[in-house]
Structure 1
Amino acid sequence: MAAVDLINTHLSRTDDIADEAFLRALPKAELHLHLEGSLEPELMFELAQRNDIELPFANVDAVREAYDFHNLQSFLDIYYRCADVLRTEQDFYDLTWAYMQQCQRQGVVHTEPFFDPQTHTDRGIAFATVLNGITRALADAEQQMGISSELIMCFLRHLSEEAAFETLEAAELYLDKITAVGLDSSELGHPPLKFERVFTRARELGLKTVAHAGEEGPAQFIHDAIDGLKVERVDHGVRCTDDDDLIQQLIDTQMPLTVCPLSNTRLKVYQHMSEHPILTLLERGVRVTVNSDDPAFFGGDVMQNYLALAEHLNMTRRQAAWLAHHSLTSSFAAEKQDSWLQQWVEALQS
């Protein structure tokens, strides 16, 4: 039975607002999550103590007060400062394990997290130290929690094309552990096409491709990510609302957008969640998904993002089911989708 028929059959009261129990029970994938951005202040202090690092914050409350961002760049400034506590393989393991525990509590059955090797290698941390800690935790989470994952290595777009090529070259020894490459950091002044040759080389190596585009950057960046970088998913992509032709292209191609509602409002892409276009895009037929981006900094894991849509946009159970369905079927783990969709059907029937 097609997904639309299943939703119509099991969610006949389509005007019912999605409640927390229903949202938590829905199996879902998270496709836009920065591991470094999941570093909670409590763990940051623990790692700083372990590594004998003096923090510029007196306590956890002071860290949370520092999370008073005005825009993407002011967020990134504190983001990179906090990442400095990550030094050893065990640090990266603990970071990733803490995130996977959050996934277990939220009904996330699959995740495709980002990591930024340049954030760490530029500090003198070995590429292998970062990767081995992360992948060991991901493997343990699959074995112990049943949560599968695919890992995405991002290039920092504010750095040079040459630096991205160096990072890609370092990754060639570990292609069995990396599924895709992505592009993150500040969009303004750093268009996707700056990295067109790097993405071409990544595809030659057999890597899938995604890229941040159309968050603070214009709709044209989404076009460039699709046409120039040949991405298979667009991260954020909400500025598509400025270009009706682009919206139609997204509908026709079913290009997934990994949208992060709480992040968008926290960084003032929208002033309030009630202004967010995700459900409007969903109803028009755009393949949107719900994700948390940097949950430690933006005050919301993926479940809290779903809950925010229910609270401020009156998201229905039908809409929530579609969003979860899109997340599962937009993942890079195609061989596991049948079992996830069976869990999804069971959640609709309960």
Structure 2
Amino acid sequence: MTKRDTRTLPKAELHVHAEGTLEPEMVFALAAKNGVALPYADIDDLRSRYSFSNLQEFLDLYYACTAVLVTRDDFRDLAAAYLERAAHDGVRHVELFFDPQAHTARGVAIDDVLDGLLDAFRQAEADHGITGGLILCVMRHLPADDAMATLESVAHRAGDLLAIGMDSSEVGFPAAPFGAVYARAQELGLHAVAHAGEEGDPSYVWSALDDLRVQRVDHGIRSLEDPALVERLVADGITLTVCPLSNVRLAVTPDLADHPLPRMLELGVLATVNSDDPAYFGGYIDDNFRAVRTSLGLDDAALASLARNSITGAFASADRKAELLAGVDAWLDAPQ
């Protein structure tokens, strides 16, 4: 049976880090432009280091490469390159993470980060019809007071943001201390998401739900270890932004064939497929869709369900969701 082209399946990407789309070629181009010395001999040397046994090994390289991002134009070019590729992969709505603390700690103005990323979104909407926006992520390995200061520094620009998120090292860095930060973000009208249940056990997901009052959980694949948590996720309609290729590259799951994504769908969990940090993990969103089709045996109906989940879980308007959902139905109904 002929399989439909996953690149024409309308979808939203809800779990992708702007800094994680920084390809080695751009790392070296921006380093040369901005006079940043790199500890890598060349592009091939840098790419050869993209082998990780855990999350921390990845984060060490990830933050080292962000040093080349300096100006508003750098952030625009970074996001524009990702959004261009996303459009060709059938992405119609993007909710893009960014890590302001990784940049302000180096003296980069947070307004330059925001404005550069927003410049790219405006162009992508004009060129490709992509909608979406930005999720400001705070780093859980840094003090909650630092996260609050970062949030307050852009409180006057809350209208330029979709949500607050939380990322970086998970195990040993509980969510509860960030409860006040999330409460303040919600006062400002922001939605709430957080990374949980990637490295951390189900207790990290419970804490994100109860201490941070998140509307989506980023990753969350270890939730299946706790049947009561699964019941909670299903009953409350909590979307999980799953990143299959990332999970394999970071040794969260040993092999894609063992990934719990099919089980999530069977249990009624609102799972989605996303790329996470595609420049580092060798797979943008269509690579992930094609990989789960092949390795997990997901048929076109299952892929359409994943796309629907991404749209219903997005922080988009009801009209925009209806438009995109109609596109998913048309993709599935079209003759092969």
Q: TM-score, normalised by structure 2?
A: 0.97
* 8 Å Cα contact 2:51/2:249 also seen in 1: no
**Rounded Cα–Cα distance in structure 1 between residues aligned with 2:138 and 2:185:** 11
**Amino acid in the other structure paired with 2:90:** G
CA distance in 1, matches of 2:143, 2:95: 25
Contact kept? 2:36, 2:68, Cα under 8 Å:
yes
* Aligned residue type for 1:349: D
- SS of 2:169's partner is coil
Give yes or no for contact 1:214–1:222 (8 Å, CA) kept in 2: yes
Structure 1 CA distance for aligned equivalents of residues 326 and 211 of structure 2:
36
> Is 1:153–2:151 an aligned residue pair?
no
Determine the structure 2 residue equivalent to 1:84. 67
After superposition, where does 1:249-264 map in structure 2 within 5 Å?
249-264=232-247
2: CA distance, partners of 1:159 / 1:114: 17
Amino acid at match of 2:114: L
What is the deviation of 1:334? 2.4
Partner of 1:290 in structure 2?
273
1:230-253 deviation digits (Å, cap 9, x = unpaired) = 000000000111101111111111
User: Residues of 1 paired with 2:177 and 2:221: CA distance?
Assistant: 21
Residue 224 of structure 1 corresponds to which residue in structure 2?
Answer: 207
Match of 1:132 among 97, 106, 115: 115
Q: Which amino acid aligns with 2:209?
A: I
Work out which of the residue numbers 310, 327, 331 in structure 1 matches 2:314.
Answer: 331
| Contact 2:135/2:163 (<8 A) preserved | yes
Task: Give the CA deviation at 1:66.
Answer: 1.1
Give 1:144 shift.
1.4
Q: How many residues align?
A: 333
Q: Does 1:164 align with 2:154?
A: no
CA distance in 1, matches of 2:28, 2:185: 36
1:93 CA drift (Å): 0.4
Aligned-pair distance for 1:54? 2.0
2:134 is the counterpart of 1:141 = no
Q: Which amino acid aligns with 2:33?
A: R
Partners of 2:8 and 2:23 in 1: CA distance: 25
| 1:347 corresponding residue in structure 2 | 331
In the TM superposition, residue 44 of structure 1 has moved relative to its aligned partner by 1.0
> Is 1:102 aligned to residue 101 of structure 2?
no
Give the Cα–Cα distance (whole angstroms) in 2 for the partners of residues 146 and 116 of structure 1. 25
Q: Distance in 1 between matches of 2:67 and 2:75?
A: 12
Partner of 2:197: 214
Structure 2: how far apart are the matches of 1:150 and 1:338? 18
Quick check: 2:300–2:332 contact (8 Å CA) kept in 1?
no
Q: Distance in 2 between the 1:268 and 1:345 partners?
A: 35
8 Å Cα contact 2:301/2:332 also seen in 1: no
1:173 Cα offset (Å): 2.1
Aligned partner letter, 2:164? V
Identify the range of structure 1 (108-117 vs 241-250) with the bigger mean alpha-carbon deviation: 241-250
Q: Is 1:61 aligned to residue 61 of structure 2? A: no
Q: Are 1:322 and 2:302 counterparts?
A: no
- Percent of aligned positions with the same letter in both sequences? 46
Post-superposition Cα deviations, 1:131-159, rounded to whole Å, max 9, x if no partner, equal 11000111111111111112100000000
1:302 and 2:293 matched: no
8 Å contact from structure 1 (residues 292, 301) kept in 2: yes
Paired residues of 1:150 and 1:333 also in contact (CA < 8 A): no
Which residue type is aligned with residue 84 of structure 1? Answer: A
How many Å apart are 1:68 and its aligned residue? 1.5
* Separation in structure 1 between the aligned mates of residue 259 and residue 310 of structure 2, nearest angstrom: 19
* Secondary structure in structure 1 of the residue aligned to 2:30: helix
Establish whether residue 185 from structure 1 lines up as the match of residue 168 from structure 2.
Answer: yes
* Cα drift, residue 204 of structure 1: 1.1
1:281 to 2:260 alignment: no
Please point out which of 233, 251, 254 is paired with 2:216.
233
Q: CA deviation at 1:179?
A: 1.1
